[in-house]
Structure 1
């Protein structure tokens, strides 16, 4: 795998971005469960995509109601993690979060195969370093070489952070934490550290107002700064800088880039259980889920019903 073209492309993008008054958003928000509107009075499309993921939800739409029920019933066994015959709010939440991360899991699988050079099911730091930086470290340009070394040092620190058993070998789960740290709680401090290093230009380990604004806006060639920049200055002074010392430390930076967002998966899990909980014991059996199959999954029947509704409008 040759990294140099990717690095050079990234560098050009950074140069271009800093030459334009465009806003860079470093805040990590949870992705929406579905792009559909959540209106059960209209249809259950949002619930289908939240429960199954977008691509899997489409596959169910091609099935007959009987086939949808059968496949849904098989899924219940996977959702019921402790195998006690009931699906709790916690289990439903975990399932929804899994389906929403499936794209990441598939991406990790692809990258893992290319990085695991000896095929032993583990990626050592040496394997990753050689595959990623082996060619670029031979460059003749001293400045470029320094840049690659800094990137490698940063990757090594992140690799060690993801390596929970400290053996410098990444399992697939550890490799996922390495390339998608925003998805793993134990990697949050590393995200904060990397962000502060990017923004902290004077090297004092803190982010002042000028550095904060400078990271997202370059006023060169502009007579007046945009209104959103003025708003960001106010945000920094009134909210980001919590202790009012004129700078953001690690705690304040973490609160900025990793806000405690509303848990959409948990809210959807509670909604699904409430709607399907026939005996009102706040947990679902396989029978309750399958009986309410149209809430959880689509089928040709629901599509046909929607088609009739649309036909009636003409």
Structure 2
């Protein structure tokens, strides 16, 4: 679920379920998750004209509840029950059920959902992040540069959230981990969006997903450190560009974003690059599935425990 957000006025920080919703809640579609009325969301989103973005199969709105809480509303594009398949309904329920199990300060937490047959409605309501995406701040100069302490805080927020989700039973993971799926609060704390459940019935696929997530974490770290795109026509793949620095052929400090190169402590940079090497290491062909899973967990743990309190 791609949550597109924009900068705006100061917003309230709320915990899931504490939205000050008006009126009684409807019968739970998914146990323990608040059901919001369509009329309330329609009013909050200014009659659904406050569109802030769209992606495949859904439209995104910004809204403000009567309590003053700002929200992001994701609505399925389907507007007819006959076009909404049983599988789509099952996936919608599963998504809500999964998201309801995760509550973390660095996640775009689910606040509730809305279902209605007339007019046909399937919506999910999330926290709203007012300061745009990490991608915007790294690559669109108008969004404002991020200094090194802020980048480090964002990295650690992502790492803490991933560690928390990986320890749930069953685990939960981001379906897409990139600078475009990480949003920033007014004090520039990271919020991960787009979460789904690992497929328990296919352990090999779950393992591949975990390995892919760890690799993407390594690419994200390189992007934050260097300020470069994961891929560009001019420079190719970021991971290939960074290899000479990670292999020791060039000094690590020269890899840092020129906008902040002089302000990056060498020990912090070295600690993060150690984690990057672990994340993008691909020589796993001879390892067992259990070994690969343990290694993936170790990489995440290294980022939390090792780089989480870097020496100055």
Please state which band the TM-score falls in when normalised by the shorter chain: under 0.3
Which structure is higher in RCO with an 8 Å CA cutoff and minimum separation 6?
1
TM-score where L is the length of structure 1: 0.26
Instruction: Choose between structure 1 and 2: higher strand proportion.
Output: 2
Q: Which has the larger radius of gyration?
A: 1
Instruction: Choose between structure 1 and 2: higher helix proportion.
Output: 1
TM-score where L is the length of structure 2: 0.27
